[in-house]
Amino acid sequence: MKPDELEAMVAARGAVRRGHFALSSGLHSDVYVQKFRVLEQPQDARRLGAAVAALFDSGFDVVASPAVGALLLGFTTALAANVRFIFAERVDGVMSFRRGFRLEPHERVLVVEDVVTTGGSAAEVVALLRLAGARIEGVGALIDRSGGPRAELGLGAPFRALLRLQADAWPPEVCPLCASGEPLEDPGSSRPSGKSLD
Ligand code: ZN
């Protein structure tokens, strides 16, 4: 899938919103990507998963994603590569593998994330996998909205995304939108107070 094709899909679904948003990374931003709108058609989710798998030449044995946001894309990436899919989830704020998920030593793992802002959740999954003795082949994502050079994400593994999106993000204390009194929206959060999916 070409970037302009994905861009058109994102636009057609109204998946990119402008305003003042609290992101799950804790940063504030003027742009919010409602990625589930891009993935709500199963056929599209399948095509996007195939495109992510192709970014890494399907050179992996397992796909691992952080819950909840990346579950659909991680699953369809694994489907395209015909490998198994596991996910990590937060338990008392700490990313963990539960539900009996196991990794064999030296299994090659592709981490799949949905939208990367700081790379924080992906980095946590990478660290967790390394502890389990896995080999990280890379981190794949639907959208890279980090804005900076990819090396700065500190993932310690190749990072590739289907689409790069220009968006500003700030820690709340220096957010210019907070400073100008713009109402803050929390469109989808994994924080305990959040009610919607992220
Ligand atoms: Zn703000």
- Domain extents for the chain? 3-179
Q: How far apart are CA 47 and CA 54, in angstroms?
A: 11
Give 177 Cα–ligand 1 centroid separation in angstroms.
Answer: 5
Predicted structure pTM score: 0.84
CA of 115 to the centre of ligand 1 (A): 19
Residue type, 83: V
Query: What is the mean pLDDT of the segment spanning 177-197?
Result: 71
Structure tokens that stand for 87 in this block: 């996910």
Which strand (E) or helix (H) includes residue 21? strand 16-22
CA of 44 to the centre of ligand 1 (A): 33
Query: What is the distance in A from the centroid of ligand 1 to the CA of 18?
Result: 13
- How would you class 183 by CB atoms within 10 Å of its CB: exposed for 0-12, middle for 13-18, buried for 19 or more? exposed
Share of the chain above pLDDT 70, in %: 91
Better-predicted residue by pLDDT, 78 or 118? 78
Instruction: Using a pLDDT cut of 90, give the percent of the chain over it.
Output: 52
Rounded to the nearest whole angstrom, what is the distance from the C-alpha of residue 197 to the centroid of ligand 1?
A: 21
Q: Which residue has the tokens 């996910």?
A: 87
Q: Which residue has the tokens 């981490």?
A: 111
Ligand 1 centroid–CA 26 distance in Å is: 10
Q: With respect to CATH, is domain 3-179 assigned 3.40.50.2020?
A: yes
Separation CA 87–CA 98 (nearest Å):
8
Closest by Cα among 29, 17, 24, 18 to 172: 29
